[in-house]
């Protein structure tokens, strides 16, 4: 597998030479020059919109948009370099360089905010009504509105500058630490050193001893650095809370909701509905544990397969399978997926030295994406492939929009990816003729909901509790463990055994340390349930829904989440009934799963 170059991505077509690319160095130099130019332009921009001032404003705002598009492109490429080889220190230096540029851009945006809120509403509306700005009017209106929720410009600029080596620095330190961590793992009498990402993949092994060993290795490895992880988490949270206090934001959830273009009522309604799933999820786990002969269900059993034989699939076959199922709904989506695989937009090789996890990043200047994952040949990784291709497709349908109209929130970002998973899973179920294969597919489908309703909810509950505790001062490791176990008990109910919790999950889950996306948890559950609604429409309308689906994705950067749902689906996201219906849809396969177990038994 390691010799198959189709498992590694193509970065040379972006900037030849990777970290040492002269072309990339020149690109960053030109970008830096334009940031300086924009800063000077801001000083000279007219403070009103009389006469020819509007034209100067338009030119300036377009320059800023182009700069941010190029910075995004540079960040995307550098992120690929960092995660494909965690020992590449040069790429981490470039990340810091780009972070410094980003801080200057944030300061520039703060300057624009200061001017925007001083402009008369009539003049402002006339400005963003200009033919070159109408496509991004939502972005600029949102910026102007949010500016009134922040500190005075001088303090916002200082905060952005200090965040580079402070706030974001802790995130970089954590990512470097996680990437370097390894543990000795013994399987089939062979001992080898595995990365954290490779260990996590072992949780899908049909051999419970393998899963247990992987969990114990992860726990002990993270235990060896839990002091550093706690320091990073506390420091990041402390920075956020200080910023929120000075902005007058009374809740740690204020920023995530602002970023998600969401109302608090929407998230509350969603979690209220999710909380009703406990009894049926417990039934599912009971049936599964009985089938597997597990006495007590533990953390490392969450994604355990129901078959004792782990079926392997090659990367090529997994790609063909995903493409076929996506094409059955939309030839446009299917041909896109084929292109992503054939043009090697995906890094999938299973090797040491890679960062853990899976993600998709955009390269806006090329109208391309790159997908990062580790493919070792199981069904879950096939779903990861479908999931990440969904992210790439979302960006693809937006590529003819202005850059600022392509920026959509995380909760909507998870819609296209999860929609792909639904498509591929149901197609596989329909094609399955072997009852054992069907059982495995049903399990994978229900398991996705189980993770979204229990695992992700535990993360959200932990975040909420942790930030309240952090307001009182630094939270000790023992307290962090206690908060995490408490969150898991509430989210999982009686499902996990008394000794089956994961106290160090707060340390091992990189999402808690992502400084660009606070509360990196509810977007997944939101996307899962929202995509379920989209998928229901796809099943009812068939291929006729392909174009409306594209239209919905194309609007995700141009309105609030609630407005998007009203426009394209005619639903109210603050109504708990919508979410309860979505949760119920996710639970419908539990009874067929239980019946099939009895039939096979």
The CATH number linked to 218 is 1.10.287
Does a structural domain hold residue 286? Answer: no
Specify whether the CB–CB gap between 60 and 49 falls below 8 A.
no
Q: Looking at residue 217, what is its pLDDT?
A: 96
DSSP 518: S
DSSP 312: -
On the CB side of 562, CA atoms within 13 Å amount to 15
Note whether 134 and 186 are same-domain residues: no
Could you report how far apart the first and last alpha carbons of the chain are, in Å?
A: 37
**Residue 186 bridge partners (DSSP):** 191
CA–CA dist 446, 304 (Å, integer): 12
Among 130, 165, 200, identify where a domain stops.
165
Total domain count, the chain: 3
Specify whether the CB–CB gap between 270 and 525 falls below 8 A.
yes
Positions in the chain whose pLDDT score sits under 70: 1-5, 308-310
Does a structural domain hold residue 248? Answer: no
Note whether 529 and 388 are same-domain residues: yes
Query: How many other CB atoms are there within 10 angstroms of residue 435's CB atom?
Result: 11
> pLDDT tens for residues 344-360?
999 999 988 888 788 99
Structural element, H or E, at residue 160 = helix 153-165
Note whether 551 and 590 are same-domain residues: yes
Question: Two tokens at 26?
Answer: 């020149």
> pLDDT tens for residues 538-558?
888 989 999 999 999 999 999
Residue with tokens 């080889």: 85
Note whether 117 and 47 are same-domain residues: yes
Q: Do the strands 368-372 and 346-347 form a parallel or antiparallel pair, or are they unpaired?
A: parallel
| DSSP collapsed to 3 states, 264-327 | HHHHHHHHHHHHHHHHHHHHHHHHHHHHHCCCCCCHHHCCCCCCCCCCCCCHHHHHHHHHHHHH
CA–CA dist 290, 273 (Å, integer): 28
Specify whether the CB–CB gap between 57 and 119 falls below 8 A.
no
Q: Looking at residue 310, what is its pLDDT?
A: 65
Instruction: State whether residue 198 is helix, strand or coil.
Output: helix
| DSSP collapsed to 3 states, 404-433 | HHCCCCHHHHHHHHHHHHHHHHHHHHHHCC
Among 138, 165, 192, identify where a domain stops.
165
Note whether 400 and 541 are same-domain residues: yes
Specify whether the CB–CB gap between 568 and 545 falls below 8 A.
no
Does a structural domain hold residue 297? Answer: no
Instruction: State whether residue 187 is helix, strand or coil.
Output: strand
**Residue 194 bridge partners (DSSP):** 183
The residue length of the chain stands at: 601
Q: Looking at residue 178, what is its pLDDT?
A: 92
Note whether 138 and 216 are same-domain residues: no
Note whether 199 and 348 are same-domain residues: no
Instruction: State whether residue 250 is helix, strand or coil.
Output: coil
Note whether 193 and 160 are same-domain residues: no
At residue 198's C-alpha, the angle toward residues 194 and 204, to 5°, is: 130
Does a structural domain hold residue 266? Answer: no
Closest by CA position to 360, among listed 335, 339, 340: 340
Specify whether the CB–CB gap between 373 and 39 falls below 8 A.
no
Structural element, H or E, at residue 140 = helix 137-147
Does a structural domain hold residue 172? Answer: no
Does a structural domain hold residue 331? Answer: yes
Q: Looking at residue 5, what is its pLDDT?
A: 55
Q: Looking at residue 507, what is its pLDDT?
A: 97
Question: Two tokens at 507?
Answer: 């340390």
Question: Two tokens at 259?
Answer: 């970023």
User: CA of 482: how far to CAs of 149, 300, 485, in Å?
Assistant: 34, 19, 5
Note whether 26 and 132 are same-domain residues: yes
Range of the structural domain that residue 212 is part of: 182-224
Specify whether the CB–CB gap between 141 and 72 falls below 8 A.
no
Q: What is the pTM of this model?
A: 0.86
Note whether 188 and 117 are same-domain residues: no
Which residues have a Cβ under 8 Å from the Cβ of 298 and sit 6 or more positions away?
A: 212, 215, 496, 497, 499, 500
The CATH number linked to 443 is 1.10.1370.40
DSSP string, 178-213: HHH-EEEEEETTEEEEEEHHHHHHGGG-S-HHHHHH
Which residues have a Cβ under 8 Å from the Cβ of 411 and sit 6 or more positions away?
A: 260, 262, 522, 523, 526, 527, 530, 561
Residue with tokens 């273009």: 261
Q: Do the strands 359-363 and 190-195 form a parallel or antiparallel pair, or are they unpaired?
A: unpaired
DSSP 362: E
Does a structural domain hold residue 128? Answer: yes
Q: Looking at residue 196, what is its pLDDT?
A: 86
Phi and psi at residue 497, in whole multiples of 5°? Answer: -65, 160
The CATH number linked to 39 is 1.20.140.70
Does a structural domain hold residue 551? Answer: yes
DSSP 225: T
Note whether 65 and 190 are same-domain residues: no
Note whether 213 and 124 are same-domain residues: no
Instruction: State whether residue 114 is helix, strand or coil.
Output: helix
């Amino acid at each position: 597998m390691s010799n198959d170059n189709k498992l590694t991505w193509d970065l040379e077509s972006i900037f030849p030479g990777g970290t040492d690319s002269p072309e990339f160095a020149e690109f960053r130099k030109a970008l830096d020059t334009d940031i300086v130019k924009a800063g000077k332009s801001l000083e000279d921009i007219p403070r009103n919109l009389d006469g020819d001032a509007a034209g100067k404003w338009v030119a300036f705002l377009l320059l800023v948009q182009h700069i941010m598009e190029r910075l995004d492109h540079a960040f995307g490429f550098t992120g690929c370099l960092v995660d494909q080889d965690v020992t590449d220190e040069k790429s981490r230096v470039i990340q810091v360089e780009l972070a410094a540029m980003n801080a200057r851009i944030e300061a520039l945006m703060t300057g624009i905010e200061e001017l925007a809120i001083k402009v008369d509403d009539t003049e402002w509306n006339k400005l963003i009504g200009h033919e070159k700005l109408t496509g991004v009017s939502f972005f600029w209106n949102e910026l102007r509105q949010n500016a009134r929720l922040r500190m005075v410009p001088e303090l916002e600029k200082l905060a952005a500058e200090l965040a580079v080596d402070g706030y974001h620095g802790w995130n970089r330190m954590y990512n470097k630490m996680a990437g370097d961590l390894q543990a000795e793992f013994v399987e089939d009498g062979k001992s080898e050193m595995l990365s954290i990402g490779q260990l996590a993949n072992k949780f899908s092994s049909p051999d419970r001893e393998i899963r247990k060993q992987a969990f114990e290795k992860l726990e002990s490895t993270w235990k060896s650095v839990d002091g550093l992880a706690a320091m990073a988490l506390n420091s990041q949270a402390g920075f956020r809370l200080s910023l929120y206090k000075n902005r007058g934001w009374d809740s740690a959830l204020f920023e995530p909701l602002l970023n998600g273009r969401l109302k608090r009522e929407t998230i509350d309604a969603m979690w209220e509905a999710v909380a009703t799933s406990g009894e049926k999820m417990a039934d599912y786990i009971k049936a599964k544990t009985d089938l597997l002969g597990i006495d007590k269900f533990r953390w490392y059993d969450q994604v355990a397969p129901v078959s004792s034989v782990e079926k392997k699939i090659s990367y090529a076959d997994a790609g063909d399978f995903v493409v076929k199922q996506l094409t059955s709904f939309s030839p446009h989506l299917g041909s896109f997926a084929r292109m992503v695989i054939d043009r090697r937009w995906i890094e999938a090789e299973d090797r040491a030295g890679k960062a853990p996890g899976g993600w998709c990043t955009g390269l806006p200047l090329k109208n391309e994406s790159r997908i990062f994952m580790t493919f070792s040949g199981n069904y879950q990784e096939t779903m990861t492939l479908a999931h990440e291709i969904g992210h790439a497709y979302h960006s693809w349908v937006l590529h003819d929009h202005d850059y600022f109209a392509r920026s959509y929130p995380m909760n909507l970002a998870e819609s296209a990816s999860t929609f792909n998973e639904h498509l591929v899973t149901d197609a596989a179920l329909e094609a399955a003729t072997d009852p054992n294969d069907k059982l495995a597919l049903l399990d994978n489908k229900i398991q996705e909901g189980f993770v979204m309703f229990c695992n992700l909810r535990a993360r959200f509950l932990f975040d909420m509790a942790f930030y309240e505790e952090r307001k009182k001062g630094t939270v000790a490791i023992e307290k962090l463990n206690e908060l995490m176990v408490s969150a898991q008990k509430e989210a999982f109910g009686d499902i996990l055994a008394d000794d089956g919790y994961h106290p160090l999950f707060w340390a091992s889950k990189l999402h808690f340390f992502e400084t660009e996306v606070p509360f990196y948890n509810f977007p997944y559950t939101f996307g899962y349930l929202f995509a379920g609604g989209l998928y229901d429409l796809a099943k009812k309308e068939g291929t006729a829904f392909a174009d409306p689906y594209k239209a919905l994705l194309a609007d995700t950067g141009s309105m609030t989440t609630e407005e998007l749902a009203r426009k394209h689906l005619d639903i109210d996201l603050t109504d708990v009934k919508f979410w309860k219906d979505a949760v119920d849809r996710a639970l419908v396969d539990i009874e067929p799963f239980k019946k099939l177990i009895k039939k096979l038994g």
